[in-house]
Amino acid sequence: MSTQDEFERLDCSAVIADVWLMLDGECDDASRARLQRHIDDCGSCLAAYGIEEKVKSLISRKCGGDHAPESLRQRLTIELRRTIVITSTKTDN
């Protein structure tokens, strides 16, 4: 594996943490391309991306175009990360 390939490899937890940035269009083109390559190659990250995308879409539809309060976004982010950690721990055993 080349040094460039090693640099391009992303840890799944890093990808999941940055999915919201990607969905919100808040990452640069290079980061978006790296994230997208990982998601395209990793089934579990693709599934997580799909869930995050559906949550974002649901919030957008139900809030009628209003932005969700920052406190709601923070609570959802914490809960989603906690769920991911718990799921990862259970599957690792």
pLDDT digits (tens, 9 = 90+) for 33-53: 988 888 888 888 888 888 888
pTM beyond 0.75: the answer is no
SS3 at position 43? helix
The pLDDT assigned to 87 comes to 54
User: What's the mean pLDDT in 10-27?
Assistant: 82
Ramachandran assignment for 55, one of left (phi > 0), alpha (psi -120 to 50 degrees), beta (any other): alpha
Q: Quick one: pLDDT band at residue 77, thresholds 50, 70, 90?
A: confident
* Beta-sheet strands, E only, within the chain: none
Q: Is the pLDDT of residue 91 over 70?
A: no
Q: Is the pLDDT of residue 21 over 80?
A: yes
Q: Is the pLDDT of residue 3 over 70?
A: no
